Amino acid sequence: MSQTPLLEVRHLTTIFPTETGIVKAVDGVSFHIAPEETVGIVGESGCGKSVTAESIMRLFDEKTTEYRGQIIYNGVDLLQLSEEKMRSVRGNDISIIFQDPMSSLNPVYTIGDQIAEAIMLHQKLGKSQAKRKAVQLLSLTGISDPEERLHAYPHELSGGMRQRVMIALALSCEPRLLIADEPTTALDVTIQAQILELMNELKSTLRMGIMLITHDLSVVAQMCSRVIVMYLGEVIEEADVVTLFDHPFHPYTLGLLKSVPQIEGVRKGKLYEIKGTVPQMDEVSNSCRFSPRCPFATEICRTSPPALEEASDGHRVRCWHYKEIAANGGAEHELEFEPY
């Protein structure tokens, strides 16, 4: 790491009890985020991306959830803080944007009341000061007539405007770390581009680090300096964005890249999908977790879990066969995934 990380997650494990037994929804995850850096977390639904984000914020009921490992923010292990001290971290130091603003905003309160409440709670300002700051935040996120919008209810706004309100709410206390969980999933392409541009601008203005959770690799290419690929609760590959796109080593990463539709050049064939589906967490066995879906799987993959190895400087991969895949051209290798 070239500089002291803003956030360092060390061997984070999040354990839930379920009807079928104990589940490790996040299993030994480690990564870091530097100040003013955007790190992408990618993978299919059910891979543990959102659970990782919510674990960092300690949003789960701790009567039934067990956290292991360390979450070091600004030199302090968040897992060792009392709930009272953790509440002061949420919103003030670390904020989160959820993917569905309609379910995150309270439908019976105005936009202004919701933003002002967060400001009064965390920054101890009076109501009139909080309302003035709410107007500034709405203006900062590109909402027209912010004074008027203060009096609007969530259902009166478009999807793009609601997402901008969620960003304003997340930034209300000027956090140093912003966790964005699929922030543009429900938006059309034009609005998505505006939101991403806004996040980039605000990162520079407020000097934030951003943890961007997405399944959209084009968003990763546009926004991120480094990428972490997750599968079934584990980190299975990590690299800078150029290396990951040009020289992916893990078969799952290869499959994700091959599944992206190509709109330019000569079409080489049908669109591919990765064989099978992500298993349930309680179906995890003592093997490579991707082996049931992997075209490269051999006996060792089915009987022994691979470690996360340093393939090169800053490029980590969890695969028994990554050296063979790299030697065969990585991304150019013809994968035998199932076509649609």
* CB within 8 Å of 6: residues ≥ 6 apart: 33, 34, 35, 37, 73, 74, 176, 177, 209
Query: Phi then psi for 35, rounded to 5 degrees?
Result: -55, 140
Residue 300 is predicted with a pLDDT of: 96
Does residue 298 carry a pLDDT above 90? Answer: yes
- Decide: 40 and 226 in contact? Cβ < 8 Å: yes
Q: Give the CATH superfamily of 7-224.
A: P-loop containing nucleotide triphosphate hydrolases (3.40.50.300)
Q: What is the mean pLDDT of the chain?
A: 87
Return the DSSP state at 123.
Answer: H
Closest by alpha carbon to 51, among 22, 29, 69?
29
Predicted local distance difference test score (pLDDT) of residue 263: 62
pLDDT of residue 22: 86
pLDDT, tens digit (0-9, with 9 covering 90-100), for 56-79: 999 999 999 999 999 999 899 999
CB neighbour class for 307 (10 Å; exposed up to 12, middle 13-18, buried from 19): exposed
Positive or negative: CA dihedral 200, 204, 206, 208: positive
Bridge partners, residue 273, by sequence? 338
**Quick one: what percent of the chain has pLDDT higher than 90?**
54
Question: Residue 198: is its pLDDT beyond 90?
Answer: no
Among 210, 140, 150, 139, which residue's Cα sits nearest to residue 175?
A: 210
| Positions of CATH 3.40.50.300 in the chain | 7-224
Count of CB atoms within 10 A of residue 43's CB? 24
Residue 269 is predicted with a pLDDT of 64
